[in-house]
Structure 1
């Protein structure tokens, strides 16, 4: 009974905030926006019921049965720490105190994943000049209906929390004057789950701020001082957690490789010899595989169609990319794209299992897709404006 009550309350709150955000972000098409957010919510929540069907660490996180965590305590704060223990810290009250079921846990995490999707949906919708068609469907709203994007953000696990944290972080950038606290909390959430990803977020925003022409020099200096102070405070703790000597790309790739090795235990049929690949092929593997020649189960078949869509979008975007667009890109998009690029460089050289690649790239791949389709939309808007001037 408590499970049902929790689910109803949380779903009701999300539906209510869908309406509030729709009418806060739009005037003419607010009803359309609200309806599309609710449809996306229904679609995304359906994946929370499918998520338990795939074997993985999720049940261990919820059941406190992971072998790599040696803590067995009835004190919530004994689990507070970096990585997996922090996930158990978050799960303590719903599991140990409230006794909620694993399905309820997946729905709770899934709603958090949806909130991340919603942030990106609203940002992307407001940034487009014109909606465009890919495979005969409009990017708004269907770019956010990609199966893997929804599946890996619909259940208990680090992927959902990191996706939400990054999305909340970039959403805060657009409204930084009133969302600085939520940005800090989002960065902290990612830091406690995957510290190296949080460093990618901080580095990406710092680079964007330094090269931004819209921010006064004094604010740039204050921001960079704040970032530097924060990095100095947690630097040694991160190195200790990752068991490395520095935060170089080589060291982070080694961490990703070791983590992937643990995750790959029990997985077969999707390993690739990534170390023997030249760099361009490593990037291609990270971005677009598995493809149809890699298919060995239903999941890889679905992923192949989605990866083909990624490839088509990138190919369509290439003729539309312009250097001058960098200055016109919203700050949130530039930051998200940089986070994606950092993640691609680090993880593409170390992840040798296509299943793990699908999960890891899911945190950031959407930012590349939004940038590509935004560029195509911008070119089409320019052509339409020229045609109008010529006609007049």
Structure 2
């Protein structure tokens, strides 16, 4: 317990160093808010630790693997689960206990929120209120389910860091190239198929965004990410055992049905095989919703899913398609990543417990699209009112 307390203090001090660097780069940086977010996230480390000690948890399995490993460090290297074992093993070797590893990965998850904060604030300076008088950005940052699944030893915290690091870096790829590469590596080695969706979304966003980007920048993004996809295509296909497939679409459907059937056998399984695609997506994005909550955690998650649903309803407007067509590259990128990942996940997710955990990877991309859409509408409204006010002043001056 003393080691955990030491790490919590150490990470707090490291945060101040990181904040000092980024506060010089971004005038909007709010140290007080991010320190509060750190304390909030640490609470969820405690909540998840209690949960893990009283329920089956992947974090125990990771620690059991590395604590019983007798080979070399690079014997653990690989993608998916293997990468978490590989990444956590050096910490165990220097004396980290299970609880110390849990708080370390919780910190990685917290850093994901720091990069998400900078990503949102850098691209959306306009404040937006929802549900009468709630600040949308603060609501997004403090959603409990997002913190719960990113506060423990496992893939959730690490890939969230990789995704948000990548997204922040892609805004200015030239000056943030190290972060871009590091984020890409984390995403790829934890979930190769998610890296594919991120790469596709980034390329499509850059190619179709409304900004007049220089040709070399578009070419750099296309060649870099396109080349990376070609180089790692076998590893990506291996996630679904399709590396030797001659008919990828047909074999993907078959593998998806098998995985869905396996997942649906668990206690919180739902048979999604006969669902129309719209209801599959609804299930992935917004369930459980009270009546189908599998446990107490599911009931708490249902409240958050209701917030997701109410926020989603805000973009179900006639002008949303027009907004997406005319939106900048980063918005289109976020939209494509969210939609493509959601489509893929709906074919293999048939367990509400896994759905609650997996969707935490991509919900921030939806939140960014919603926030940008609402902020742009507010900005347009403010400009229109300002123009009307100026016109009235001119009319009054003429009348006098």
Question: 1:122–1:218: structure 2 CA closer, same or farther, 3 Å change rule?
Answer: closer
CA distance in 1, matches of 2:264, 2:48: 18
Give 1:181 shift: 2.4
Please name the residue that 2:170 is paired with.
Answer: 173
1:221 Cα shift? 3.2
Distance across 1 between alignment mates of 2:182 and 2:310: 36
Aligned counterpart for 1:76 among listed residues 73, 77, 93: 73
Q: Judging changes above 3 Å, is the alpha-carbon distance between structure 1 residues 183 and 251 closer, same or farther for their aligned structure 2 residues?
A: farther
Q: Decide whether aligned partners of structure 1 residues 246 and 313 sit closer, same or farther in structure 2, where only a CA change above 3 A counts.
A: farther
How far did 1:126 drift?
A: 2.9
SS at match of 1:178: coil
Match of 1:34 in 2: 31
Per-residue Cα deviation, 1:232-274 (whole angstroms, up to 9, x for no partner): 2222233345411279566556666666667777x51x22110
Q: 1:247 to 1:305 in 2, by over 3 A?
A: farther
TM-aligned CA deviation for residue 188 of structure 1: 1.4
Contact 2:264 2:270 in 1 (8 A): no
Instruction: Answer whether contact 2:270 2:350 (CA < 8 A) is retained.
Output: yes
Match of 2:58 in 1: 57
CA RMSD of aligned residues (A): 2.6
**What's 2:355 paired with?**
357
Separation (CA, whole Å) in 1 of partners of 2:329 and 2:246: 29
Change (3 A) 1:155 1:175: same
Secondary structure of residue in 2 paired with 1:275: coil
With over 3 angstroms needed to count, the CA separation of the structure-2 counterparts of 1:149 and 1:252, relative to structure 1, is farther
Tell whether the 8 Å contact from 1:112 to 1:161 is kept in structure 2 after alignment: yes
Aligned to 1:294: 292
State whether residues 51 and 106 of structure 1, in contact with CA within 8 Å, keep that contact through their aligned partners in structure 2. no
Please name the residue that 2:398 is paired with.
none
Is the counterpart of residue 142 in structure 1 residue 133 in structure 2?
A: no
- The worse-fitting range, judged by mean Cα deviation, of 213-222 and 11-20 is 213-222
Structure 1 residues 235 and 312, CA, compared in 2 at 3 Å: closer, same or farther? same
2:320 & 2:143 partners in 1: Cα distance? 27
Mean Cα deviation higher: 160-169 or 326-335: 326-335
3-state SS, counterpart of residue 273 of structure 2: helix
Give CA-to-partner distance per residue, 1:24-52, whole Å, 9 cap, x none: 211xx55xx11111111110111111112
Which shows bigger deviation, 84-93 or 4-13?
Answer: 4-13
Q: 1:58 to 1:251 in 2, by over 3 A?
A: farther
Give me the whole-angstrom Cα distance separating, in 1, the residues matched to 2:153 and 2:84: 9
1:353-392, aligned counterparts within 5 Å? 353-392=351-390
Asked whether the equivalents of residues 275 and 350 of structure 1 are also in contact (C-alpha less than 8 Å), the reply is no
CA contact (8 A) 2:260 2:347 kept: no
Equivalent position of 2:23 in the other structure: 22
Contact 1:201–1:339 (8 Å) recurs in 2? yes
Report if the CA contact (8 A) 2:290-2:302 is conserved. Answer: yes
CA gap of 1:301–1:321, structure 2 versus 1, over 3 A, is farther
* Alpha-carbon offset, residue 171 of structure 1: 0.6
- Cα deviations across residues 298-341 of structure 1 (Å, max 9, x unaligned)? 21111111111011111123237444533664533332222111
Q: Which residue of 2 aligns with 1:132?
A: 128
C-alpha spacing 1:204/1:22, structure 2 compared with 1 (3 Å) = same
Distance 1:223 1:296 in 2: 43
Q: Distance in 2 between matches of 1:351 and 1:277?
A: 12
Aligned pair count?
Answer: 381
Cα distance change on mapping 1:316 and 1:324 into 2, 3 Å? closer
Indicate how the Cα distance of structure 1 residues 83 and 104 shifts in structure 2: closer, same or farther if over 3 A, else same.
Answer: same
Do the aligned partners of 2:324 and 2:331 also contact (CA within 8 Å) in 1? no
The TM-score normalised by the length of structure 2 is 0.87
Q: Which range moved further: 245-254 or 299-308?
A: 245-254
Q: CA deviation at 1:127?
A: 2.6
| Contact 1:3–1:100 under 8 Å retained in 2 | no
CA–CA distance in 1 between the matches of 2:198 and 2:111?
19
Are the counterparts in 1 of residues 263 and 351 from structure 2 also a CA contact under 8 Å?
A: no
Equivalent position of 2:394 in the other structure: none
Shift of the 294–246 alpha-carbon distance from structure 1 to 2, 3 Å rule, reads farther
* Structure 1: runs of 5 or more not aligned: none
How far apart in 1 are the matches of 2:264 and 2:88? 24
SS for the counterpart of 2:174 is helix
How far, CA to CA, are the matches of 1:180 and 1:216 in structure 2? 17
**Structure number, greater radius of gyration:** 2
What corresponds to 2:194 in structure 1?
197
1:281 aligns with: 279
Residue pair 2:269, 2:350 contacting (<8 A) in 1 also: yes
